[in-house]
Structures are given as structure tokens and as C-alpha cells.
Structure 1
Amino acid sequence: MPPHPSTRVQKAREALAGRLREIRKDAGISGRELAVRCGWSESKSSRIENARTPPSDADIRAWCRACAAGDQAPDLIAANRQSAEAHVEWKRLQRTGLRRLQESTGDLYQQTKSFRVYVSDVIPGFLQTPGYASALLSSIAGFRGTPDDVSEAVEARMWRNEVLRKGEHRFSFVLEESVLRYRLCSAETMAAQLGHLLGVMGLQNVAVGIVPFSEPRAVWPMPTFTIFDEGRVHADTLDAAYTLTQPSQVELYARAFEGLSQQAARGAGARALIADAVASLG
């Protein structure tokens, strides 16, 4: 099989193949012996180890079982599934406009009970007003050259955000103070957005923490990410949306969120930071 056209997917496949090769070597068995234990040809073992053939979930289980490393199978299976799904280019997601992107996560949002959201750049989508969302999505559409369906995308986002008030969902947000200060819209729109943020903080199922500029950092500011329950992370970069499902990855982000959360001001302290940001608008 030729290399995958996406270099990110190919690198993920090669990393998985490398991990399987190390497991075999740690077990002290040859590729031939592995093939015998798994009940397949030696050439299949070679193709998997050299990232020429993506293994199935069953292949990974058999490989780990043959190497007495069954405890590593769940993480490797998640990595295998991720290789084709995790690195989704924003251009492909957005080629039909931004509305479909908002709608694509609707089912996931409804199914998730606990959301942990860290943001270092913009107000979280869950907490955006129509005015703020419109300004932000207009900027994104202009930068990426996507079809202009901002009005429909904002409407879809507001509909999606009803999950905040409907159903048994819990939300924990950690924002960098810089999020309150970035001028992505007019002063009037930003003032309304910050006022909305103050109002949302009163909801019983919502916890908001803000990491002050002045807080000594134990954990550095990092790119935005969202943890869905205990099994999935969405992490965004400029060119891609990463979906992470390996248990070790989810645990890493959960640990990062906990560290960031411990640095955040809450209650009256958080409200004071928002009030200062409102006052700075003049």
C-alpha cells in the first residue's frame, strides 16, 4: 500500500507501527514467531511493522496477546482509529461553509454529560452571544475563504448551545484573562458578550474559572481544547482539528486541565476580572 496522501495520517501510522515493533522486540520474539502465534503469514507481520498495511483492531489485540502485552492493546487500538480521523483539515471541514461545521457536533454535544473546556484565545463557543459569534465567524470565513454563510452558522451555533440549558450536562470552563481583552468585535458587542458571560456564571451546571495575568504559572498557556466526558478530546490548531481518543492522551489533557483549573480565579475573583475588562472598553 502506498503512503497515505495525508502526511499527518502517514506519520501516525508509522508511529503505531513503531510501537508494535518495540512491543515485539521487548517480548524477545522474531517476526516469524509472532506470525505463528497470531496465525497469519510472516509477510503480514512485516507489512504491519513497516506501516505498509494498517492493522485492524483484531490484529492489534492478537499482536499484543502474542507478546504478553495485552494491557497495551486499548491505547494502540485508539491510536489506530485516530490515524484516519484525528487530523481533519479545517479546509475540508469548512469547504461547504461554516454552518455545517456547527451542526456536525450536535449529536456529540447531546450525548456528552461532562464538558471540560480550556480556552486561551476567544470566548468559548458555548458562551458566545450572536454578535460576538458573528464577528468571530466572519473573521474565520474571510481568512479561510469559505462560503459566506455566517448568518446560518451563527444560528446553528446558538441552536447547538441550547445544550447549556437543556438536559443533564455539566460544564467546567477555564479561560485565560486575555480572552476577556482581545478586541475581536466592537466595544458594544464585547460589552454585551462579557455581560452574557457574567449571567451564564449563575447557572447551576456551569463553573467558570479565569486565570489572571498576574497569577504565577505552574502550567503554561496552551492551545484551546475540550474534553468530552472521559473518552474524547478536541484540540484545535490553525490548520487542523484533532480528535484524540487514546486513553493516555485523554489522561494527559485531563491532567493539564486540572493544573490550569487550580490556577483560575472563581466566584467574586472571576467576576472582578470580567468587570475590569468591561471597564477597559471605555
Structure 2
Amino acid sequence: MRDINRARQQMGARLKELRLDARLTGRQLAARYGWQASKVSKLENGRQTPSEADIQAWCDAVERPDEAPNLISTLRAMETLYAEWRRQLKLGTKARQQSWAEMEAETSDFRVFESVLIPGLLQTGEYARLRLSQVIAFHEIPNDLEEGVATRMRRQEVLYNPAKTFHFVILESALHLGMAPPDVMLGQLDRLMAITMMPRLRLGIVPMRAPLPFAPQHGFWIFGDRAVHVETVAAELTLTLSDEIEQYARLFDWFTRVACYGPHARRIITQTMEALSA
């Protein structure tokens, strides 16, 4: 969200600059189009997102129509950063899973961090069914559970592509939280054991008592150097600014330093399985 607010504020600053260069007051600009005077202030201070029509009208008023195409392009890019779940999921979970598969097909280097969930590419069918059934119930979207699960499972074929590399880091808490009943979780943990043996794939587990380098506020996926995807309850953020991507990459590196890999990771998984079976 911070990325979106920054982009909105930058656009507002540019609109204000254009108005001042044209020696127009905010009231004069608003009066020309019958706008409320407060609209100009909100647009210039990043408290309201302009429409494409607003941008075109603004550039005409300040006699800078040449600025309109760039500003409209910026607006469209900004709008892709924030997509409401209901709009994305209105066709059901299958369509959303297919969209993820398209992004994964275009990426060769994956870095994934999760604090409370097993990442989708590593899930068993039973675990995925629980996750997607929750999404369907919470967002009240079409119930295409079986199609969604099947598509998520097909997505996992990307793990065997020799042209791609994967690095997953998860907190040990994701192995213990009540996200699945014991029998489902045992199957999921067994799947993670097998994952640790795969080529071109690294799985790190941050132990429960490890000193965390930063508060794990949410999970995130880094797609090469192109974008970071962050899921919230109500929306998905797509961050594309280079400094934002760099921040997430740095945070990922910090967590890798306290994560356990190979035999140490397998020991954590085994101990969790033993505790569940007791």
C-alpha cells in the first residue's frame, strides 16, 4: 500500500507543478470544469486518485496536452499495483490459479517467504483444498474448489523445469499453527521432506527460537527482479518500483541468514512430525 500511496503523491505533485507553471489557482482550475475546489487539493496532495479524464482535463487547462500520455500511463501502471480480491476471484479460484501459473511461466528465479502458511507450490492436494475452501467461504465467490485445487497442483510442474530456480524460506511456526488437522499436516510435512531433496530448490526453515532479524509482517513472493507480490486479506499488491523490490530482496536475505537448510531443516520437520504423531 505504501508503494501505491507514494505513486499517488508523486502524481499529485506533478499535477500541482503543472498548475503553478500555468499560473492557475486551484479555484480557477476547479471552476473551469465545475469541480468542487476540494477535488484539486485532494488530487495534488495524493488523497484522491485521478481518472484518465481528470488528467486529460487538467493538462488541457494548463495548456500542456503533451503531459497527458505520460501521466495516464503512470496512472494505469499504478492501478495494476492494487487489485481487489473480489474482482480477481469473481470467476472462481481456478482463474486465479491460472493467472499465477502465467506469472510463474515468465519467471526463472523465485524467492518466497511465508510465516504462517506452506507456499502454494509446495502444498499437498489436501492442504491446498483447505486453503482454497477458506478463500471461497470468506470472499463468497463461486465454488469451484476441485478445479482450483487441480490447477494449483498443475502449477507445481514448474518446480521440475531445469531453467528455473526456487528458494523458499518459511518460519517453523507455519509447521505448527492449526491450519490443517494432524493427518493432513503429516502428509504436508512428508511432502516438505521430499522437497528438501529436489535439485535447484532450496527450502529454509527459521527455527521457532531463532532471533528474527525483522518482524515477519506478511508473506511475499519475489519474481526475479520484476515484481513482488503481497497478499492481504482484502487485496493483492503488485510492487514494481525498484527500491521496493530491493527492500523485499534485502528482507529475504536477512531471513535466509537465520534459516536452517538440508539436514538441519529435515530435523525440524521430523521433530514436528513426531510431535503430531504422539
- Give the TM-score range, shorter chain: 0.7 to 0.9
Q: Give the distance between the partners of 1:9 and 1:89, measured in 2 at CA.
A: 16
Q: Give the distance between the partners of 2:2 and 2:115, measured in 1 at CA.
A: 25
CA-to-aligned-CA distance 1:6-33 (integer Å, 9 cap, x gap): x9999566322245479x69xxxx6249
| Equivalent residue, structure 2, for 1:126 | 121
- The answer to whether the Cα contact below 8 Å between 1:16 and 1:79 also exists between their aligned partners in 2 is no
| Equivalent residue, structure 1, for 2:26 | none
Q: Give the distance between the partners of 1:178 and 1:148, measured in 2 at CA.
A: 30
CA-to-aligned-CA distance 1:16-75 (integer Å, 9 cap, x gap): 2245479x69xxxx6249xxxxxxxxx9xx99856646679xx9xxx9xx9xxxxxxxxx
1:138 Cα deviation after fit: 1.2
Q: Give the distance between the partners of 1:220 and 1:202, measured in 2 at CA.
A: 29
Q: Rate the CA distance shift 1:95–1:221 in 2: closer, same or farther, 3 A.
A: same
| Equivalent residue, structure 2, for 1:114 | 109
Describe how 1:59-70 pairs up with structure 2 within 5 A: none
- The answer to whether the Cα contact below 8 Å between 1:82 and 1:244 also exists between their aligned partners in 2 is no
C-alpha RMSD of matched pairs (Å):
3.3
* 1:222 correspondence with 2:212: no
1:222 Cα deviation after fit: 2.1
Identity %: 31
Moved >6 Å (runs of 4+): 7-10, 76-79
Q: Rate the CA distance shift 1:122–1:78 in 2: closer, same or farther, 3 A.
A: farther
- The answer to whether the Cα contact below 8 Å between 1:209 and 1:266 also exists between their aligned partners in 2 is yes
Q: Give the distance between the partners of 2:73 and 2:146, measured in 1 at CA.
A: 37
| Equivalent residue, structure 1, for 2:95 | 100
Q: What secondary structure is seen at the aligned counterpart in 2 of 1:104?
A: helix
Q: Give the distance between the partners of 1:198 and 1:9, measured in 2 at CA.
A: 37
Q: Give the distance between the partners of 1:80 and 1:201, measured in 2 at CA.
A: 43
- The answer to whether the Cα contact below 8 Å between 2:4 and 2:82 also exists between their aligned partners in 1 is no
Describe how 1:114-193 pairs up with structure 2 within 5 A: 114-193=109-188
* 1:15 correspondence with 2:9: yes
CA-to-aligned-CA distance 1:182-204 (integer Å, 9 cap, x gap): 22222111111101111011111
The gaps in structure 1 that reach 5 residues or longer are: 1-6, 34-42, 67-75
* 1:198 correspondence with 2:193: yes
CA-to-aligned-CA distance 1:229-254 (integer Å, 9 cap, x gap): 11111011111100111111111111
How many pairs are equivalent?
246
Q: Give the distance between the partners of 2:213 and 2:72, measured in 1 at CA.
A: 33
The gaps in structure 2 that reach 5 residues or longer are: 24-31, 33-39
